[in-house]
């Protein structure tokens, strides 16, 4: 297998910073008071701070409370999935990301992060499919394009290796396999 660094859209700030500061849209949360909006934004900032301090259990407890209060707001659910990934609780993170993509298929970040987790488990076809979904929802999402390239490189390496296993005399597949592996390893 080609060792490749896939990148999570782990920074909740990049995905939701503007959202957390402004009031949720009417479609997301009907008729929320300004005080409730401010309290939600403050709680999200506190949860982020707890995660930065690696106080995962406290952060997840706060995020679970926020999710219970506002189940149609994706920010807390996304941040919880990121926290689970950071803790290497990948199966739980996968469940959380699957829930997000089911409820919010238009969000590219959960698709990207789900793809990264699939790739780590060598489930490259699933990773590819999630990245294609991320890109279809946000064609300018560079991180998903980069990760898709990494998945395609791994898929290519698998096929070149399979070719070599079938036909030991095949020299072109060996050269291509080396080229793919060298390119992936040269990446920062």
Q: What is the mean pLDDT of each run of 10 residues along the chain (188 residues)?
A: 48 38 39 86 94 95 94 93 96 97 96 97 97 97 96 96 95 94 82
Contacts of residue 72, Cβ cutoff 8 Å, sequence gap at least 6: 28, 29, 103
Please give the full DSSP string across 35-82, using - where no structure is assigned.
Answer: HHHHHHHHHHHHHHHHHHTT-HHHHHHHHHHHHHH-TT-HHHHHHHHH
- The reply to whether CATH 3.40.50.300 applies to domain 12-186 is no
pLDDT at residue 23 in the model: 32
> What values do phi and psi take at 64, rounded to 5?
-60, -40
pLDDT at residue 7 in the model: 61
pLDDT at residue 8 in the model: 58
pLDDT at residue 185 in the model: 84
SS3 167: coil
* CA 137 from centre of chain: 14
pLDDT at residue 165 in the model: 96
pLDDT at residue 36 in the model: 86
pLDDT at residue 12 in the model: 39
Distances in Å between the Cα of 64 and the Cα atoms of 38, 68, 75, 131, 135 are 18, 6, 11, 27, 29
pLDDT at residue 30 in the model: 56
pLDDT at residue 13 in the model: 40
pLDDT at residue 32 in the model: 78
Q: How far apart are CA 32 and CA 38, in angstroms?
A: 10
């Amino acid at each position: 297998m080609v060792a490749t660094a896939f990148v999570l859209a782990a920074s909740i700030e990049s995905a939701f910073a503007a959202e957390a500061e402004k009031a949720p849209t009417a479609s997301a949360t009907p008729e929320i008071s300004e005080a409730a909006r401010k309290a939600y934004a403050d709680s999200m900032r506190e949860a982020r701070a707890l995660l930065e301090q690696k106080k995962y259990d406290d952060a997840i407890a706060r995020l679970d409370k926020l999710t219970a209060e506002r189940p149609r707001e994706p920010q807390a659910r996304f941040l919880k999935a990121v926290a689970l990934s950071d803790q290497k609780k990948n199966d739980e993170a996968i469940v959380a990301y699957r829930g997000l993509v089911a409820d919010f298929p238009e969000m590219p970040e959960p698709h990207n992060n789900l793809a990264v987790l699939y790739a780590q488990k060598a489930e490259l076809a699933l990773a590819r499919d999630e990245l294609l979904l991320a890109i279809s929802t946000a064609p300018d999402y560079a991180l998903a394009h980069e990760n898709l390239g990494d998945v395609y490189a791994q898929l290519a390496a698998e096929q070149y290796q399979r070719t070599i296993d079938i036909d030991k005399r095949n020299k072109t597949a060996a050269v291509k396999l080396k080229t793919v592996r060298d390119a992936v390893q040269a990446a920062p």
